[in-house]
Amino acid sequence: MIVQVHGFDWTIYAERVMPAFARWLIDKDETAIYQLFERTRCSLEEQFLPEPMQRLRVWRRASTFVDALPRGPHSRREYVKLCSAEQFTLRKRRERANGTQRTGIPAPRGRSC
């Protein structure tokens, strides 16, 4: 029997993950978020992809996606809301309660880990 226990650490999410996303989306500084990504199972598994598939790696596609996002003042305000753990959680709860699922950002295509 295999038992997996998954936990969610709000403090890590609010103090490390979301600020790293903010620096990436708002300031175009991917240093912190990339360091977090490197420690994921997805990143570790992708190290074993054959050379022809390296262009399909998640980080490369995510980085290309973020580089293509709009950068105007309205977009910046939305990214600030999106990268606030508290505001994002409240927004998602409201959407779930209303039966709507709207983020304004298209869902990524292709494989995910």
Q: Rounded to the nearest 10 degrees, what angle do helices 31-38 and 58-67 cross at?
A: 160
What is the pLDDT at residue 55?
A: 86
Q: What is the mean pLDDT of each run of 10 residues along the chain (113 residues)?
A: 74 91 94 95 92 91 94 91 85 80 53 50
CB of 79 closer than 8 Å to CB of 22: yes
* Residue 78 three-state SS: helix
What is the pLDDT at residue 39?
A: 93
What string of DSSP letters covers 4-69?
------HHHIIIIIHHHHHHHHTT---HHHHHHHHTSHHHHHHTTS-GGGGGG-HHHHHHHHHHTS
**This model's pTM is above 0.85:** no
